[in-house]
Structure 1
Amino acid sequence: MSRRRPACLVSLLLLLFLAAACRSAPPVRRPARSVILISIDSLRADHVGCYGYQKPTTPALDRFAAGAVRFANAYAVSSWTLPSHASMFTGLYEDAHLAFANNSRMDDDNVTLAEAFQAAGYETAAIVCAPFLRREYNIQQGFASYDQEIAETRRPTIRKVKTSRQVTDKALAILKERAASPRPFFLFVHYWDVHYDYNPPDEYTAMFDPDYRGAIDGLNISKRQDLQPGMDPRDLAHLIALYDGEIRYTDDHLAELLAFIDGSTLAADTAVVITADHGDEFLEHGSTGHTFTCYEELVRIPLLIRAPGLVVRTPVVDAPIENVDLYPTLLSLAGLPPVKRPIQGYDLRPLIEKGEAPPRQELYCETRMGRRYGWHGQKGIWRSLSRLDGKKIHEFRGHKTHTSEYELYDLKNDPRELTNLVELNAELLAKIKSELYRRHRASLELAGDLNLQDARQKKGGDAGKDDALRDQLKGLGYVQ
């Protein structure tokens, strides 16, 4: 009897352990939803068909939008590639993630969207084309596969090469492999051809302006002296037509990628999100290209979300949102819990499903690569804040003068920002200036709380020391 007691006790303890283990095991649930994020560089919203553009630039996007949620007032939080994508990937504004200059490098202490997916057991992959998305900027954190072959193209080829065919082929190769795997994945696909220079393939060059016989082409945008306010409107219209040709060329290749998704097993459990990092300007405020300001033509972007099983209250959402919201929203679409560290974006699912808008009172934008009056103007920092009542302030602070200039607009009555009210309402200007500074300070404080800093301050943190990369950026006009 006494010899059998130890064996009985061991058996009893084993049973209790197994019972406790069963109680603590997570409940069995359906596989997580995969996520594809597609960013079309430099695509402004008002040149997309489903956003009201009258020319047939985006038939594939328009078809996709018919089965998706379209955000009518989506905004980028910066007007150029690096900080805008960094905000998508971190859920932070430029003042917080601090990837804001040609030679900036994202701090390792950022927890990126790809890292969050990877920690949840996802396969992660990216295909990028822009020099500012190369590994030198440390934006690849969390991607197990990071294809930057196209982004390494040297000048002058980088101005002329067409990449949408390559991007689509690379993405299809990944998706065909993923379709055969039970493991969820996060894929980031970056299309580049809409970015200046505007030199679409021959069949797209005359697509939107077949009768033009002038001398303007879409090359060397950053160095041209003939692209100025007051130029011949016919020449300007042709430049815009070339931009539209680049959009259509990209859209035609995107169509193939979307068709594959829709015709494969991926369609049943994959969320697809399509957006842009910023727009381009065509002398609306005296310049071309992007990067320098935060006017509407640069920061209003398309955002389309389609996810199987997503409850949609209305297919068109009018509430203003920012691309910093993509970080928590994509995790939510995948069925993953929110991150435990502070972020500045909001999950958009309550807005999609219940009409509950994010509790923000204003929209914020910043570019520390700002310029006053175009490519050859004074350098400085450009910040803007738009209140939900339509009042919008711009601040430009010159690097040399250390003084600020302000502009004030009423977007509800002046959506193109043509009538500066700064001299007419000193009280409103003072109030909205304080709101702008409050947002700026809040981001800097959050960066400190998260132990983030401009990674150039760390050993090996200066992306601009890479000669090949600097050569690329010179080819695009970003550095002299």
Structure 2
Amino acid sequence: MNIFIYVLDALRADHVSCYGYDRNTTPTINRLAEEGVRYENCFSPATWTKPVGASLLTGAYPPLHGTRSREDVFDVDITRLPETLSEVGITSVGFSTMGNVSASIGYDRGFETYRDLYKDPDIVAKRQTRDTDSEELEHEGRDEIALPRAEDLTESVVEWLETDAEDDFFAFCWSIEPHMPYNPPEGYRDYTDPEYDGPVDGQRDTLPDVETDADLEQLKGLYDGGIRYNDDELGRIVDMLKTQGIYDETMIVVLGDHGDAFNEHDRLTHGHLPYDELIHVPLVVKPATESDVKPQVVEETVSLVDVPATVMGAAGVSEVPETVEGRELPPFGPSGSSSPVFSETRFRDVYPSFYSVRTDEWKYMEVDEPDRDVGTMLDTVKQVYQRGLIWEIVRNPRYYLERYFHDENRFLYDLDDDPGEQTNLVEKQPEKADEMESLLTTWIRKGERRHEKLSSVDDLDIDNETSEQLKQLGYVE
């Protein structure tokens, strides 16, 4: 049996056509959904990449696996998916286009081969590049890294399938698209307005210029073009699996690690309050033919944390590590709602942290503001200066300040009556808010206590290529 996990970075569920989107952005994912299981209500454990990657490889939420902030490396002594699969004779290979899911910060453990494509010399030579300072890849060992395209990932995977793939493999593939910058190649810009002459071009530095409906629609069109482009590249890999005669015996898992916001709550991109535009993600699982799972749509609330347990079960792993907090997704495992599901987004001590707990009916979110002491404020000013953001903040203070300062710190939504999360019920439903807050607090404390009991390996050095890319993508300030 083969297992193939493919992650599209920053792909939100409601821009996937089989989730009801009115643009045909994902014909490949649609076909996989028709042959497998589509999870209508899947949610991410974070609103940015690094902690989600660790959750996908451990089945643990961020408080347990400990890869929570920008400074963290993935070094906790916790059993990982490739290590568990090796016990049943499955070899593992990883392909990453993202510095936040790289060997240099610990994501390669357990893999026989792990390739950080953003540092590949051939890809650096032909792609848009960024310096490590702007990407804030603080521990990379070089000055320049690439932003690989989905086709670079495809070519690497296809070459591996043709030359090095063995029987019974696990392939873990992380695509950078449709993550910002939104820059679909020629031939994939049909969703944009050819007459648009505004300032928005999909690059991060033009986000403060999104002011009109036309600006926002142009941004969405670029984002959707990136989705369609990446979906076509995924289709090339699926075709190769069929050419190799191994498609039927391969379990294919396709997902988004988090979403991107388009001003549904006056914010763009990701990494902030976990509204559903950021944590509601697509998840499609095409089973191997040896499975008796039939094509279907699952309505139950599930989490990406459930993916590793599902893969282990399908692969015949008899003893799931005790640190796996997820369950086997139905219908691979028993049905019955797994809600509540949780999320946590933490960056640095100088920034707010964001948390959520979600059930089938209710959503509670909380903002944990940092201490605004003199030392913290000086650190914030230092980071603004180092990133060269002073002029940008002066030019558009609202865009930057609203990311880090909030009028409200607690949010409660009745999802049956208010699926768009527009009416905060904390004051009208204080008992329900306190109940949900208690669930959230218990979850955080339990995970942190279990994390403290895990031994850690030696700290890892993050090389400069990774540090640079993270700065360019806006993950490190």
Contact 1:150 1:163 in 2 (8 A): no
1:225 aligns with 2:208: yes
Contact 2:92 2:171 in 1 (8 A): yes
Of 408, 414, 420 in structure 1, the residue corresponding to residue 418 of structure 2 is 414
Residue of structure 2 in register with 1:356 after alignment: 335
Q: CA deviation at 1:300?
A: 0.8
Residue of structure 2 in register with 1:80 after alignment: 48
Q: In 2, distance between residues paired with 1:162 and 1:200?
A: 12
| Letter paired with 1:423 | E
Contact 2:8 2:175 in 1 (8 A): yes
Taking structure 2 as the reference length, the TM-score comes to: 0.83
Contact 1:77 1:364 in 2 (8 A): yes
Number of residue pairs matched?
425
1:62 aligns with 2:42: no
Of 209, 215, 219 in structure 1, the residue corresponding to residue 198 of structure 2 is 215
Q: In 1, distance between residues paired with 2:475 and 2:173?
A: 23
Q: In 2, distance between residues paired with 1:446 and 1:415?
A: 34
Q: Give matches, 1:179-194, under 5 Å.
A: 181=166, 183-194=167-178
Higher relative CO (Cα under 8 Å, sequence separation at least 6) belongs to 2
Contact 2:181 2:202 in 1 (8 A): yes
- The 3 A distance-change label for structure 1 pair 134 and 342 is closer
- The 3 A distance-change label for structure 1 pair 166 and 313 is closer
1:391 aligns with 2:362: yes
1:174 aligns with 2:129: no
Unpaired runs of 5+ residues, structure 2, are 136-144, 374-405
Q: In 1, distance between residues paired with 2:418 and 2:348?
A: 23
1:474 aligns with 2:474: no
| Letter paired with 1:63 | R
Residue of structure 1 in register with 2:242 after alignment: 262
1:196 aligns with 2:167: no
- The 3 A distance-change label for structure 1 pair 63 and 268 is closer
3-state SS in 1 of match to 2:284: strand
Q: CA deviation at 1:361?
A: 3.6
Contact 1:131 1:151 in 2 (8 A): no
Of 258, 268, 273 in structure 1, the residue corresponding to residue 253 of structure 2 is 273
3-state SS in 2 of match to 1:56: coil
Q: In 2, distance between residues paired with 1:184 and 1:113?
A: 14
Unpaired runs of 5+ residues, structure 1, are 1-32, 372-377
Q: CA deviation at 1:444?
A: 1.1
Percent identity of the aligned residues?
A: 28
Contact 1:38 1:190 in 2 (8 A): yes
Q: In 1, distance between residues paired with 2:326 and 2:205?
A: 33
Q: CA deviation at 1:248?
A: 0.8
Q: In 1, distance between residues paired with 2:295 and 2:4?
A: 22
Q: In 1, distance between residues paired with 2:192 and 2:339?
A: 42
Residue of structure 2 in register with 1:367 after alignment: 345
Q: In 2, distance between residues paired with 1:322 and 1:222?
A: 32
- The 3 A distance-change label for structure 1 pair 266 and 93 is same
Q: CA deviation at 1:413?
A: 1.3
- Quote the RMSD (CA, aligned, Å): 2.4
Q: Give matches, 1:96-135, under 5 Å.
A: 96-135=64-103
Residue of structure 1 in register with 2:442 after alignment: 438
Q: CA deviation at 1:263?
A: 3.4
Q: Which has the larger radius of gyration?
A: 1
1:334 aligns with 2:302: no
1:382 aligns with 2:354: yes
Of 302, 321, 327 in structure 1, the residue corresponding to residue 302 of structure 2 is 321
Contact 2:271 2:345 in 1 (8 A): yes
Q: In 1, distance between residues paired with 2:81 and 2:475?
A: 27
1:252 aligns with 2:232: yes
- The 3 A distance-change label for structure 1 pair 405 and 88 is same
Of 282, 292, 297 in structure 2, the residue corresponding to residue 311 of structure 1 is 292
Contact 1:363 1:387 in 2 (8 A): yes
Q: In 1, distance between residues paired with 2:111 and 2:365?
A: 36
1:296 aligns with 2:276: yes
3-state SS in 2 of match to 1:382: strand
| Letter paired with 1:54 | D
1:400 aligns with 2:378: no
Taking structure 1 as the reference length, the TM-score comes to: 0.83
Q: CA deviation at 1:119?
A: 3.2
- The 3 A distance-change label for structure 1 pair 212 and 417 is farther
List per-residue Cα deviations over 1:418-471 (Å, max 9, x = no partner). 11111111111111111111111111122134x156x7xx5x4464xx444333
- The 3 A distance-change label for structure 1 pair 340 and 194 is closer
Over 6 Å off, 4+ runs: 157-160
- The 3 A distance-change label for structure 1 pair 365 and 68 is same
Contact 2:84 2:317 in 1 (8 A): no
- The 3 A distance-change label for structure 1 pair 289 and 160 is farther
Residue of structure 1 in register with 2:378 after alignment: none
Q: In 1, distance between residues paired with 2:421 and 2:119?
A: 34
